[in-house]
Amino acid sequence: MSIKAVIFDMDGTILDTEPIWKDITIELLNSYGIYEEIDQSVLDSLTGIGISNSAVLLKNRFGIRDTVDNIVERKMDISDNFLSEKPIEFIKGFEMFHSCLQSSGIVTAVGTNASFKTVDLMKQRLNLNCWFNDHIYSIGDVGNKAKPDPAVFLYAANKLNVRPDECIVFEDSVHGFKAAKSAGMRCVAIRNRSNIDQLDLVDESVYDYSLAFDVVQRWI
pLDDT tens digits for 92-146? 999 999 999 999 999 999 999 999 999 999 999 999 999 999 999 999 999 999 9
Q: Which of 60, 85, 110 is the C-terminal boundary of a domain?
A: 85
Assign 50 a pLDDT band (cuts: 50, 70, 90): confident
Which secondary-structure segment (H or E) carries 187? Answer: strand 186-190
Same domain, 39 and 54: yes
Same domain, 42 and 130: no
Same domain, 13 and 26: no
Same domain, 131 and 48: no
**Beta-strand pair 204-206/107-111:** unpaired
Cβ atoms 129, 93 nearer than 8 A: no
Residue 64's nearest CA partner among 24, 32, 26, 21 is: 32
Same domain, 145 and 59: no
Same domain, 120 and 167: yes
Does residue 41 surpass a pLDDT of 90? Answer: no
Q: List for the chain the helix, strand, coil content (%; round to 5).
A: 50, 10, 35
Alpha helical stretches, state H, the chain:
18-31, 40-45, 51-62, 68-85, 94-103, 116-126, 129-132, 151-160, 174-182, 212-217
- pTM equals 0.90
Does residue 76 surpass a pLDDT of 80? Answer: yes
Same domain, 99 and 70: no
Residue 12 structural domain: 5-17+89-217
Same domain, 62 and 74: yes
Whole-angstrom distance, CA of residue 27 vs CA of residue 65: 16
Assign 1 a pLDDT band (cuts: 50, 70, 90): low
Q: Amino acid identity, residue 201?
A: L
Q: Which of 85, 101, 119 is the C-terminal boundary of a domain?
A: 85
Whole-angstrom distance, CA of residue 82 vs CA of residue 77: 9
